[in-house]
Copies of this chain bind each other. A is one copy, B any other.
């Protein structure tokens, strides 16, 4: 071996070695306009890498491999991209459908599911190779293909999702991911448009676009079907123009209470999760979009729709009052807590930065430049159910 070749090889290996580090404090920040993601470190509150070439990242979301090394990014253009956080590069990228809306990773980490609008259905992929495993066409009782929304993972190696046009909730068992077994719950309500599952993976709740109320399924007893809760929740509440239907993933569940963005109103609804009944309403600054609970459940942080989207409010979950109004800047799009809750990261799209707040002092402690940042996702999600 010639010395120059050896030196080049050494440099190459040294570059590889630079990424010997833990992955529990990593995360992704989506830079939507550029089809790029940043890899960030929540300990040093710093950017580690920037990766381009992920396609259309409008409403993009991400899940993580169980070792917290890889992110799977779901783009609006049907792109599914596997990113290596340690090497700061794309491992593989496929265009799996024309138009997708989100994805999930199975409990055992082996299967990636992507939900699609067009053609409506769910596709399953091998988490290691991204090879296709199966497709579940979303043909409801109406005989037509529905858009699929509200896809989440659930315990028992299952995925749960909703059919928009057909008004159904399906549960796919992926023990054999090449032959998923599907259980169908019919007539759950008109036009489910989004959904969430509680942190323990038991309760699946779909919002309805076509009527008021929400559809609740007990995943311990799917044979009991869906029941309607919060019958007045929805567009029927509208007194104000609805700028944006709130995300259901944006529900905060803190202890025995859930905090829901009201639709079209400047309020947060407080619901007790035993009987799923409304117990209070909290007046807030604008139409809430996301209400996120700090991991210890003591605070809920809320951001708002246009034209109030420069503001974030912090609610105390004991007094049910706003304890602080913050103005991070123009177009606050998303918030993500560190897993033990000492920090929250906030994307300020039109401010061109991500701000890190100390959740106790309620003050910014760091700012990271980012080009039109939107979603923020930390690797700790790998260890949680239903994300």
Contacts and interface: CB of A to CB of B under 8 A. Distances in A.
Interface of A: 1-3, 6-7, 9-10, 13-14, 16-17, 19-26, 42-43, 64-70, 85-87, 107-109, 155-157, 200-202, 220, 254-256, 274, 295-298, 318, 338-342, 360, 379-380, 382-385
Contacts of A274: 256
Given A10-B9, A340-B385, A384-B340, A21 B155 contact: no
A24 B66 contact: yes
A24 B379 contact: yes
A375 to B, nearest CB: 19
Contact of A13 (B14, B254, B255, B385): B14
Nearest to A255: B200
Contact of A68 (B20, B22, B295): B22
Contacts of A14: 13
Given A6-B9, A296-B385, A341-B385, 7 more contacts: A20-B87, A21-B86, A22-B67, A24-B24, A108-B342, A202-B296, A202-B298
Given A3-B6, A274-B256, A69 B24 contact: yes
Nearest to A68: B24
Contacts of A6: 1, 3, 6-7, 9-10
B385 A383 contact: no
A272 B67 CA distance: 35
A383 B85 CA distance: 18
Contacts of A383: 24, 339-340, 380, 383
Do most interface residues of chain A lie in helix, strand or loop, or is the interface mixed?
loop
Most buried by B among A3, A296, A338: A296
Contacts of A87: 20
Contact of A296 (B21, B22, B201, B339): B201
- What 9 pairs across the A-B complex have the smallest Cβ distances? A22-B69, A24-B68, A22-B67, A6-B6, A339-B383, A25-B67, A155-B296, A13-B13, A22-B23
Given A17-B20, A24-B69, A69-B22, A156 B360 contact: yes
Given A43-B66, A65-B22, A256-B274, A296 B200 contact: yes
Contacts of A155: 296, 298, 340-342
Contacts of A26: 67
A17 to B, nearest CB: 5
23 contacts: A1-B3, A1-B6, A6-B6, A6-B9, A16-B17, A21-B67, A21-B86, A22-B68, A22-B69, A22-B70, A23-B67, A24-B64, A24-B67, A155-B342, A156-B360, A200-B255, A200-B297, A201-B296, A202-B297, A296-B385, A340-B383, A340-B384, A380-B383
A200 B295 CA distance: 7
A360 B154 CA distance: 13
